[in-house]
């Protein structure tokens, strides 16, 4: 099998690279010269990995996501780690995200009613109330200085307040639970993680999602709460998972734990960064809020543009099930394939003038929620609702967003996010 050399210009897996910023110039080189590029992990990152195919063009990412038979989520999971060679860890960590149809379809159906477009539309008034509350609290807390950390005060708050009721978590438990979620997902960032993934020996935790010991605390929590929900159909996610039957069998305790964890993390850690980087891009493009105020019919296209631009999930992974060809590259059965959404969203073959933030952009076929196929984000309608509500509230209640310090990025090659964003919300000129 012939494989092109990896391009040397970027250590595409380095957590440090993403802590500094998105490597858009290098992505553009990859897209132009080797949109399906073989990356040798040992050389590129010092990781113990056999290497992977790195996809940076929109066309290939969509093709791979749609063809789940050739590019499986189940065979090796969706993280870059070599789980295809560790079936025990793969099984212990498996969620619906790492399951192919037909079982995937059955698992997804359990929570589909909670996250369908129709169901989410019924939360709209609640989202508006929560957003007003969040902005109000942030402004009060900012005091006379008027400045605050947009990540903690705004972006982190709305998704958490939206999720607790749906998950079936008491409001009082939310701070602890979401603190655990941060520790788990930012496993490469020493500001969060007790076991930094590329600096400590995480082998003892290989059976735990994200190799994080903190997941055990979430699993214990789920078991404690689900005991009271046995036989009780209250409609929240915890009671659904407790009482679910799939192929006539209940979910195991571990399956309940990993399913809950998936929703906890996917539902809050991604939308947070769409809102945080939404604040940043609005600060960098002060005309955008004026444009939206002048033409509120732009709300939907503005929402999609914020999602394209902010793209909180950097990548996911698939594993080839057969020898196949993609973009001229010969992919062998068992090879890992990594889809860089943050690159595809700026692919000039699909987006005219891709580095222009344009709230009127249409069409906008971003892959922020994945490239299609069975795993297309189940929370997309909820994320859209939150971004829409956020933009509406800002357009109504502030003149502009002002950056008053340096944003700080999360150290992660998996989540494209901010951990600090010093901002001020400038009140409307007429008050
Ligand atoms: C801006 C916010 C969000 C982004 C960027 C995002 C991104 C993604 C992406 C890229 C996938 C596809 C994974 C794949 O194909 O392998 C996905 C799947 C998923 N997302 Fe989201 N997501 C967001 C919000 C949410 C929310 C609010 C929830 C739920 C509360 C959620 C729950 C999930 C779940 C459960 C899956 C797995 C679906 C499946 O395997 O069928 N996401 N998300």
The per-residue pLDDT for 429 is: 75
Q: Are 370 and 55 in contact (CB under 8 A)?
A: no
Distance between Cα 207 and ligand 1 center (Å):
22
Please name which of 365, 264, 274 lies closest in space to residue 311, comparing C-alpha atoms: 274
Burial of 189 (0-12, 13-18, 19+ CB in 10 A): buried
Closest atom of ligand 1 relative to the 78 alpha carbon: 16
Ligand 1 center–CA 185 separation, angstroms:
14
Q: If 0-12 CB within 10 Å is exposed, 13-18 middle and 19+ buried, where does residue 106 land?
A: middle
Ligand 1 nearest-atom number relative to CA 104: 41
pTM for the model stands at 0.96
Q: Ligand 1: does its nearest atom lie under 6 Å from the Cβ of 111? A: no
Record the tokens describing residue 325, joined without a space: 């060809």
Q: What is the pLDDT of residue 44?
A: 45
User: What's the chain's length in residues?
Assistant: 431
Alpha carbon of 97 to ligand 1 centroid (Å)? 9
Gap between the Cα atoms of 362 and 350, Å rounded: 11
Task: For ligand 1, say whether the CB of 62 is within 6 Å of any of its atoms.
Answer: no
The C-alpha atoms of residue 390 and residue 202 are separated, in whole angstroms, by 38
Q: Is the CB of 316 under 6 A from ligand 1?
A: yes
The reported pLDDT for the residue numbered 409 is 98
Average pLDDT per 10 consecutive residues for the chain, totaling 431 residues: 53 92 94 93 62 97 98 96 92 97 98 96 96 92 87 95 93 92 91 87 91 95 94 92 97 97 95 98 97 98 98 98 98 97 98 98 98 98 98 95 97 96 88 49
CA of 73 to the centre of ligand 1 (A): 14
CA-nearest residue, atom 9 of ligand 1: 369
Say how many Å lie between the CA of residue 241 and the centre of ligand 1: 18
Which of 62, 271, 336, 379, when mutated, tests ligand 1's pocket best, judged by the most ligand atoms within 8 Å of its CB?
Answer: 379
CA separation for the pair 425, 401 (Å, rounded): 5
Tell me which residue has its CA closest to atom 25 in ligand 1.
379
pLDDT at 7: 60
Mutational test site, ligand 1, from 58, 61, 102, 270, max ligand atoms within 8 Å of CB? 270
State the distance from the centre of ligand 1 to the C-alpha of 143, rounded, in angstroms: 36
**Residue 98 CA, ligand 1 centroid: distance in Å:** 12
Q: Ligand 1 pocket, 251 CB below 6 A? A: no
Alpha carbon of 269 to ligand 1 centroid (Å): 10
pLDDT for 46: 45
Say what the pLDDT of residue 195 is: 83
Ligand 1 mutation pick, 266, 344, 415, max ligand atoms within 8 A of CB: 266
> Measured from the CA of 273, which atom of ligand 1 is nearest?
1
Give residue 5's pLDDT.
54
| pLDDT computed for residue 3 by the predictor | 45
Contact 166, 260 (CB under 8 A): no
- CA–centroid distance, 376 to ligand 1, in Å, is 7
**Secondary structure of the chain as H, E, C letters:** CCCCCCCCCCCCCCHHHHHHCCCHHHHHHHHHHCCEEEECHHHHHCCCCCCEEEECCHHHHHHHHHCCCCEECCCCCCCCCCHHHCHHHHHHHCCHHHCCCCHHHHHHHHHHHHHCHHHHHCCHHHHHHHHHHHHHHHHHHHCCCCEEEHHHHHHCHHHHHHHHHHHCCCHHHHHHHHHHHHHHHCCCCCCCCCCCCCCCCCHHHCCCHHHCCCHHHHHHHHHHHHHCCCCCCCCCHHHHHHHCEECCEECCHHHHHHHHHHHHHHHHCCHHHHHHHHHHHHHHCCHHHHHHHHCHHHHHHHHHHHHHHHCCECEEEEEECCCEEECCEEECCCCEEEEEHHHHCCCCCCCCCCCCCCCCCCCCCCCCCCCCCCCCCCCHHHHHHHHHHHHHHHHHHCCEEEECCCCEECCCCCECCEEECEEEEECCCCC
Beta carbon of 270 within 6 Å of any ligand 1 atom: yes
Which pLDDT score is estimated for 430? 61
How many whole angstroms separate alpha carbon 167 and alpha carbon 378? 14
Q: Are 138 and 154 in contact (CB under 8 A)?
A: yes
d(CA 321, CA 334) in angstroms, rounded, equals 6
Query: How high is the pLDDT of residue 233?
Result: 85
Write the burial class of residue 178 (CB in 10 Å: 0-12 exposed, 13-18 middle, 19+ buried): buried
């Amino acid at each position: 099998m012939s494989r092109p050399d990896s391009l040397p210009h970027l250590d595409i897996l380095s957590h440090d690279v993403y802590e500094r910023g998105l490597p858009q110039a290098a992505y553009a080189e990859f897209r132009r010269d080797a949109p399906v590029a073989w990356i040798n992990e040992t050389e590129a990152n010092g990781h113990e990995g056999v290497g992977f195919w790195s996809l940076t063009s929109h066309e290939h990412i969509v093709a791979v996501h749609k063809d789940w038979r050739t590019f499986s989520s189940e065979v090796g999971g969706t993280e870059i780690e070599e789980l295809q060679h560790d079936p025990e860890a793969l099984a212990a960590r498996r969620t619906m995200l790492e399951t192919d149809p037909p079982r995937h379809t059955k698992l997804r159906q359990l929570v589909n009613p909670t996250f369908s477009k129709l169901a989410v539309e019924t939360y709209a008034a609640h989202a508006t109330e929560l957003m007003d509350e969040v902005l109000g609290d942030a402004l009060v807390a900012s005091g006379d200085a008027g400045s605050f950390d947009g990540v903690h005060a705004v972006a982190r708050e709305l998704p958490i307040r939206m999720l607790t009721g749906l998950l079936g978590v008491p409001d009082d438990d939310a701070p602890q639970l979401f603190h655990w979620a941060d520790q788990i997902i930012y496993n490469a960032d020493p500001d969060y993680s007790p076991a930094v993934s590329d600096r400590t020996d995480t082998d003892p935790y290989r059976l735990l999602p994200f190799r994080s010991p903190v997941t055990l605390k979430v699993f214990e929590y789920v078991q404690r709460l689900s005991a009271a929900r046995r036989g009780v159909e209250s409609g929240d996610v915890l009671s659904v998972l407790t009482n679910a039957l799939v192929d006539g069998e209940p979910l195991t305790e571990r399956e309940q734990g990993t399913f809950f964890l998936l929703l906890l993390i996917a539902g809050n850690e991604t939308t947070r960064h769409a809102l945080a980087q939404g604040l940043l891009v609005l600060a960098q493009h002060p005309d955008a809020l004026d444009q939206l105020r002048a033409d509120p019919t732009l709300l939907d296209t503005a929402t999609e543009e914020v999602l394209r631009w902010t793209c909180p999930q950097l990548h996911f992974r698939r594993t080839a099930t057969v020898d196949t060809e993609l973009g001229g590259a010969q992919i062998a059965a068992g090879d890992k394939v990594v889809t860089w959404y943050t690159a595809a969203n700026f692919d000039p073959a699909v987006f005219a003038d891709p580095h222009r933030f344009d709230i009127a952009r249409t069409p906008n076929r971003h892959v922020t929620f994945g490239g299609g196929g069975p795993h297309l984000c189940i929370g997309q309608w909820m994320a859209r609702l939150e971004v829409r509500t956020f933009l509406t509230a800002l357009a109504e209640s502030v003149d502009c967003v002002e950056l008053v310090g340096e944003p700080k990025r999360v150290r992660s090659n998996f989540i494209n996010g901010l951990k600090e964003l010093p901002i001020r919300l400038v009140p409307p000129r007429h008050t």
